Structure 1
Amino acid sequence: MIFYYALVIATCFERLAELAVTNRNAAWSFARGGVETGRGHYPPMVVLHTGLLAGCLVEPPLAHRSFVPALGVPMLVLAVASQGLRWWCIRTLGPRWNTRVIVVPGLALVDAGPYRWFRHPNYVAVVVEGFALPLAGSAWITAAVFTVLNAALLTVRLRCEVRALAPARAVSG
Structure 2
Amino acid sequence: MPWYTLLVLLTAAERLAELAVARRNAAWSLARGGTESGRGHYPAMVLLHTALLAGCLLEPAVADRPFVPALGWPMLAVVLAAQGLRWWCISTLGHRWNTRVIVVPGLSLVTGGPYRWLRHPNYAAVVAEGAALPLVHSAWLTALCFTGLNLALLSVRIRCEESALDASAAALR
Q: TM-score if structure 2 supplies the norm length?
A: 0.96
Q: Would you identify which runs of 4 or more consecutive aligned residues in structure 1 move more than 6 Å?
A: none
Secondary structure, counterpart of 1:102 in structure 2: strand
Classify 1:140/1:172 alpha carbon distance in 2 versus 1 (closer, same or farther; 3 Å): farther
2:108 is equivalent to residue 111 of structure 1: no
- Written as runs of structure 1 = structure 2, the 5 A alignment for 1:85-164 is 85-164=85-164
How many residue pairs get aligned? The number is 173
Separation (CA, whole Å) in 1 of partners of 2:124 and 2:112:
16
On the 8 A contact 1:75/1:132 being kept in 2, the answer is: yes
On the 8 A contact 1:35/1:104 being kept in 2, the answer is: yes
Secondary structure, counterpart of 1:36 in structure 2: strand
Separation (CA, whole Å) in 2 of partners of 1:139 and 1:93:
33
On the 8 A contact 2:106/2:172 being kept in 1, the answer is: no
CA offset at residue 106 of structure 1? Answer: 0.6
2:107 is equivalent to residue 77 of structure 1: no
What is the RMSD computed on CA atoms of the aligned residues?
1.5
Secondary structure, counterpart of 1:40 in structure 2: coil
Q: What are the Cα deviations for residues 16-66 of structure 1, in whole angstroms up to 9, with x where unaligned?
A: 001100100000000000000000000000000000000001110100111
CA offset at residue 74 of structure 1? Answer: 0.4
Q: Give the share of equivalent positions with the same residue, in percent.
A: 69
Classify 1:34/1:4 alpha carbon distance in 2 versus 1 (closer, same or farther; 3 Å): same
Secondary structure, counterpart of 2:65 in structure 1: coil
Q: What are the Cα deviations for residues 104-152 of structure 1, in whole angstroms up to 9, with x where unaligned?
A: 0110000110000000000000000010000011111100000000011
Separation (CA, whole Å) in 1 of partners of 2:125 and 2:169:
22
Secondary structure, counterpart of 1:66 in structure 2: coil
Match in the other structure for 2:46: 46
Q: Which runs of 5+ in 2 are unaligned?
A: none
Match in the other structure for 1:16: 16
Q: Which runs of 5+ in 1 are unaligned?
A: none
Secondary structure, counterpart of 1:65 in structure 2: coil
Separation (CA, whole Å) in 1 of partners of 2:4 and 2:120:
27
CA offset at residue 167 of structure 1? Answer: 3.5
CA offset at residue 168 of structure 1? Answer: 4.3
Match in the other structure for 1:33: 33
Separation (CA, whole Å) in 2 of partners of 1:14 and 1:104:
26
Q: TM-score if structure 1 supplies the norm length?
A: 0.96
